[in-house]
Amino acid sequence: MQKKTPGYAIVLFGAMLAGCASTPPRLQSADDELHGVVIGTYSIGGKSKQFEYVYAQATSGDKAESAGTTRVVLAARALSSGTLSQIFADAWTGEPAAEGIVVDIGADSSWEARFMTRDGLHDTFGITSSGGEAVIEGDRARGRIALSNQSDAGLRVFRASFNAGLHATEPSAPSIALAASLAGEWRIEAWKTEDGHAYGGEIDIVRVGRNRLRGHAIIRYDADGTRIEETFDGFVDGEVVRMFGVVDPDAKWIADSLVLRMEGAALTGASRDEIGKAAAVRLRKAR
């Protein structure tokens, strides 16, 4: 987690995107169908909205441009399974109040974005600037990307960090039982990187499905008190708790993945950030 000290940044079109400030995503209720976590905003025609939902799946359409790609849908509102099926199959032609971004990630980690509007998907014709990274890692899609497009339709921009699973799995009874016990506030008792940097803070965990979790962390760098916010998408797999983080697209640090197990009253394990740095982690429930 040395990367969490000031100085590491992905700065994407700062001036163009200055009006698209974002806040950490709300923690959803157990009634929501959730597939990942996203932080960011988009603006179409000067109207800015915050991303709340992310869905990811390998494309199933027969169009040549979508062959072998993974499609990520970023939206401000929940989308129905029917709408998502059409988007993933290259068959969606639009619907009222549907807005967001569709990102196709290639096997070579290249990515292209289109804007969702009520009358379908729109390519980025005109003057376009884009940057950032979107990749497929195992059964998850993650990215930290931004785009600005100026065309006859006006200025359209977005910035987003996301991490989403590609496949749903049926949870076991032990997974469900463990997930039920994890809701609450957890104190970071230890978080120390392999190169000696130490962190404290707390993680608020909410159960949002039978074995699914959301976490919002406030992490503090011991050396100077730097405050870091990170939001996690997680699930329980047997006795293992897996959590996948995202940070604000403009943040000066990068996100972590956690693999933890219950040992007595503590969650103990390791984190690994997006450039491969590892840390030993121990969390203890505060309340």
All structural domains of the chain: 36-165 (no CATH), 173-285 (2.40.128.120)
Mean pLDDT, the chain, whole residue set: 85
Q: Express each pLDDT in 207-240 by its tens digit.
A: 999 999 999 999 999 999 999 999 999 999 999 9
| 8 Å CB contact between 26 and 44 | no
Rounded to the nearest 5°, which phi and psi values hold at 210?
A: -60, -45
Distance in angstroms (rounded) separating the CA atoms of residues 52 and 233? 13
* Helices of type H across the chain: 81-88, 173-182
Q: How far apart are CA 3 and CA 252, in angstroms?
A: 8
Tens-digit pLDDT profile for residues 268-285: 999 999 999 999 999 999
Q: What is the three-class DSSP state of 141?
A: strand
pLDDT for 28 equals 37
Give the per-residue pLDDT at 178.
96
Rounded to whole angstroms, the maximal C-alpha distance in the chain is 61
Residues in the chain: 287
| Closest C-alpha among 266, 258, 265, 263 to residue 242 | 258
Residues 163, 145: contact at Cβ < 8 Å?
no
Is the pLDDT confidence value at 174 over 60?
yes
More confident residue, 168 or 218: 218
Helices within 70-206 (DSSP H only): 81-88, 173-182
pLDDT band at 9; cut points 50, 70, 90:
very low
Residue 193 identity (one-letter amino acid): T
Q: What is the pTM of this model?
A: 0.85
Would you say residue 64 has pLDDT above 60? no
Q: Answer yes or no: are the C-beta atoms of 4 and 221 closer than 8 Å.
A: yes
d(CA 33, CA 31): 7
Do 134 and 105 touch, CB atoms closer than 8 A?
Answer: yes
How far is 261 from 279, CA to CA, in rounded Å? 15
Between residues 90 and 37, the one the model is more confident about: 37
Residue 260, both tokens: 């933890």
